[in-house]
């Protein structure tokens, strides 16, 4: 092994200034970090495979008139909604569980910039996730149309796409917020699956909590996003309220924790 | 350039780092020595902005670390070689850092060959790396932004003797070109071979801080004479600090020449005159930190 450093170029005395890495660059790196580990890569592959499976099931199980582009597209959103947030969770928690925060925050000491980059990466991920959903639905719909003339309707609207996008993005940010709050992969993933479900069951079973469920159960308030009609003011308010409880609140608490926490 | 002023870190009632101050100048390697739990890592984490200090401050390249716009380009940091995602490949770890810092991606390959991780090893996931390989990756990571300051916590851990020799050369060369190195270790031999200055910490406090020569010379000389009593009196008359050992040998806080002059002036017959056999830094280190280490362990 040679002890000389071949990369030596300028004499060390010259003053140098280096620009701060921009948010776009940091966002790109955070996106890359979501997919460059084995866990991340397999989550993405699993999500895609389940989406394909759901389209295939519909080809065999659904009534031909229900085999439409919209239906196939919307059903692929559910595996995405379940699994993609786990990528959001891992994006934050793996920094602590795998202790890569030592490197991340040594290179970018302004931790809030990393948080913003991770949030932007989550948004981009939510948008990108629409592409395979649209693709799988289109392929499924072509096949459906070929098998039965009653199937294969292509009717689709920009509103539906926009709502699907919002649905994806909210879900990934939901995962990110939970990750920031709990800072531990196992804990955050388990709670992410258990807490909202228990909440749904409780608020729907107990009649006194009916109103609570209407306002603060994200699975209830996000349902109108799948109907081909613009959300009413009341529906927007309810959606916003539940996003506030499940995304904004844990996100803010998590941000405070993350900024203060000692990295070791 | 690293400057540390009165850094203190308390965890509840426990003081992990207590009023630590030192400086590392360009062109030097500073060995940061202390037993495990002495506060070395906490101090280094405070310098790199990862742990907020309870009191005191530190600057690197003239600024508090957290105010450096692109710290990786100025300071190479290796705090824990094991703190890498096991699912990423070695190459990916370096690529992420190169991109963050805006460094050309060709540098990734350059560094991989420098630390002998080029080829198939670069494409393997860190999970399969030995501790030595992780250290090499960590060293490559510290160098990737072509910094002028290095902060390395126990970089020799897990390296084989050849690797330690290589790293010594690497750090010496870096310092000789004007770089500043702060290197922690509990392996005294490792630091003794490469450091110009030593900062010894025990129980969170600095117990010794100076050039290697100063600290090593502090042991004084050992002298044995046919008539130790007469020599001791003569040495004391000359104003030197003398301690009589059990075997009739005297320990004198002075240079060998001074002791020789005194002996010659009284025509004493010397049987032995040499620097105190300290076992190098090790004994200094042990004596300086033994008490503190016990306190910490309690």
ipTM at complex level: 0.88
Q: Which of B96, B111, B141 to mutate to test the interface with A (most CBs of A within 10 A)?
A: B96
- How far is the C-alpha of B103 from the C-alpha of B236, rounded, in Å? 63
Residues of chain A with C-beta less than 8 angstroms from the C-beta of B172: 3
Query: Quick one: which H or E segment has residue B214?
Result: helix B212-217
Is pLDDT larger for residue B133 or for residue B294? B133
Q: Residue B7: beta bridge partners?
A: B20
Q: Residue B293 above 70 pLDDT?
A: no
Instruction: Say if B169 is an interface residue toward chain A (CB within 8 Å).
Output: yes
Residues of chain B with C-beta less than 8 angstroms from the C-beta of A39: 87
Domains B2-216 and B220-275 share a fold: no
- Is B131 within 8 Å of B84 (Cβ atoms)? no
Q: What pLDDT does A7 receive?
A: 46
* Average pLDDT value for chain B: 89
Q: Is A85 helix (H, G, I), strand (E, B) or coil?
A: helix
DSSP state of B225: E
Q: Residue B73 above 90 pLDDT?
A: yes
Query: Quick one: which H or E segment has residue B194?
Result: helix B188-194
Q: Which residue has the tokens 């790199």?
A: B48
Q: Domain map of chain A by residue range? A: 23-260
Q: Is A244 helix (H, G, I), strand (E, B) or coil?
A: helix
Q: What pLDDT does A3 receive?
A: 45
Q: What pLDDT does A9 receive?
A: 46
Angle, CA of A249, A113 and A77, to the nearest 5°: 55
Average pLDDT for residues B116-120, to the nearest whole number?
Answer: 94
Q: Give contacts of B 55-114 with A, CB under 8 A.
A: 65-66, 68-74, 77, 79-80, 82-88, 92, 96-97, 99-102, 107, 110-111, 114
pLDDT tens digits, residue range A71-109?
999 999 999 999 999 999 999 999 999 999 999 999 999
- Is B126 within 8 Å of B140 (Cβ atoms)? no
Instruction: Say if A113 is an interface residue toward chain B (CB within 8 Å).
Output: no
Q: Residue A217 above 80 pLDDT?
A: yes
pLDDT tens digits, residue range A132-184?
999 999 999 999 999 988 888 999 989 999 999 999 999 999 999 999 999 99
Q: What pLDDT does A10 receive?
A: 45
Q: What distance in Å separates residue A136's CA from the closest CA in chain B?
A: 29
Q: Residue B275 above 80 pLDDT?
A: no
- Is B49 within 8 Å of A111 (Cβ atoms)? no
Of B48, B101, B116, the CB nearest to A1: B116
Domain at B220-275: CATH code: 3.30.70
Residue of A nearest to B87 (CA): A37
B160 by Cβ neighbours in 10 Å (0-12 / 13-18 / 19+) ranks as exposed
Q: What distance in Å separates residue A171's CA from the closest CA in chain B?
A: 25
Q: Domain map of chain B by residue range? A: 2-216, 220-275
Average pLDDT for residues B18-29, to the nearest whole number?
Answer: 96
> What is the reported pTM?
0.86
Question: Given the DSSP bridges, would you call strands B221-225 and B270-275 parallel, antiparallel or unpaired?
Answer: antiparallel
Asked if A1 and B166 come within 8 Å (Cβ–Cβ), the reply is: yes
- Is B190 within 8 Å of B22 (Cβ atoms)? no
A60 by Cβ neighbours in 10 Å (0-12 / 13-18 / 19+) ranks as exposed
Q: What pLDDT does B283 receive?
A: 65
**Domain B2-216: CATH class, spelled out:** alpha beta
- Is B201 within 8 Å of B42 (Cβ atoms)? no
Which of A148-152, B135-139, B252-256 tops mean pLDDT? B135-139
Q: Residue B210 above 50 pLDDT?
A: yes
Residues of chain A with C-beta less than 8 angstroms from the C-beta of B46: none
Residue closest to A102 by CA, chosen among B181, B40, B141? B141
Residue of A nearest to B163 (CA): A1
């Amino acid at each position: 092994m040679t002890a000389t450093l071949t990369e030596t170029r300028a004499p060390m005395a010259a003053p140098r200034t280096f620009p701060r890495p921009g948010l776009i660059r940091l966002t790109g790196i955070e996106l890359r970090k979501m997919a460059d580990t084995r866990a991340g890569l397999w989550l993405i592959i699993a999500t895609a495979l389940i989406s394909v499976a759901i389209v295939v099931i519909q080809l065999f199980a659904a009534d031909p008139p229900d085999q439409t582009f919209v239906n196939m597209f919307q059903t692929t959103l559910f595996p995405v909604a379940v699994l993609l947030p786990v990528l959001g969770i891992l994006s934050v928690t793996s920094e602590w569980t795998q202790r890569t925060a030592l490197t991340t925050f040594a290179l970018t000491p302004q931790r809030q910039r990393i948080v913003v980059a991770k949030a932007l990466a989550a948004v981009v991920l939510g948008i990108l996730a629409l592409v395979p959903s649209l693709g799988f639905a289109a392929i499924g719909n072509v096949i459906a149309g070929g098998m039965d003339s009653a199937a294969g309707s292509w009717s689709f609207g920009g509103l539906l796409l926009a709502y699907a996008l919002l649905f994806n993005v909210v879900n990934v940010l939901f995962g990110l917020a939970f990750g920031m709050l709990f800072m531990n992969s196992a804990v955050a993933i388990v709670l992410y699956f258990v807490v909202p479900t228990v909440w749904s069951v409780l608020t729907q079973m107990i009649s006194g909590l009916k109103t609570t469920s209407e306002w603060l159960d994200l699975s209830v308030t996000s349902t109108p996003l799948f109907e081909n009609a613009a959300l009413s003011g009341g529906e927007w308010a309810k959606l916003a309220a539940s996003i506030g409880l499940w995304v904004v609140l844990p996100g803010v608490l998590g941000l405070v924790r993350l900024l203060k926490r000692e990295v070791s | 350039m690293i400057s540390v002023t009165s850094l203190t870190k308390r965890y509840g009632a426990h003081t992990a780092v207590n009023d630590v101050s030192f400086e590392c100048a360009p062109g030097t390697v500073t060995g940061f020595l202390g037993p495990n739990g002495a506060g070395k890592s906490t101090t280094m984490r405070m310098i790199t902005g990862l742990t907020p200090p309870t009191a005191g401050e530190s600057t690197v390249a003239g600024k508090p670390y957290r105010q450096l716009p692109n710290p990786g380009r100025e300071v190479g940091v290796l705090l824990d070689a094991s703190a890498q995602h096991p699912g990423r490949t070695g190459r990916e770890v370096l690529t992420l850092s190169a991109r963050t810092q805006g460094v050309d991606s060709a540098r990734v390959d350059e560094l991989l060959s420098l630390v002998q991780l080029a080829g198939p090893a670069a494409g393997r996931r860190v999970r399969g790396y030995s501790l030595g390989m992780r250290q090499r990756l960590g060293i490559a990571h510290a160098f990737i932004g072509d910094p002028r300051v290095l902060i390395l916590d126990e970089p020799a851990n897990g390296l084989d003797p050849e690797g330690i020799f290589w790293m010594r050369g690497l750090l010496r060369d870096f310092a000789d070109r004007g770089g500043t190195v702060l290197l922690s270790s509990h392996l005294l031999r490792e630091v003794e071979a490469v450091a110009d200055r030593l900062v010894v910490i025990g129980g969170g406090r600095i117990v010794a801080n100076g050039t290697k020569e100063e600290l090593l010379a502090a042991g004084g000389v050992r002298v044995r004479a046919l008539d130790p009593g007469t020599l001791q009196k003569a040495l004391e008359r000359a104003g030197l600090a003398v301690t009589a050992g059990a075997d009739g040998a005297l320990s004198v806080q002075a240079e060998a020449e001074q002791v020789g002059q005194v002996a010659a002036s009284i025509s004493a017959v010397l049987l032995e005159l040499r620097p105190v056999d300290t076992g190098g830094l090790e004994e200094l280190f042990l004596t300086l930190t033994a008490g503190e280490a016990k306190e910490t362990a309690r």
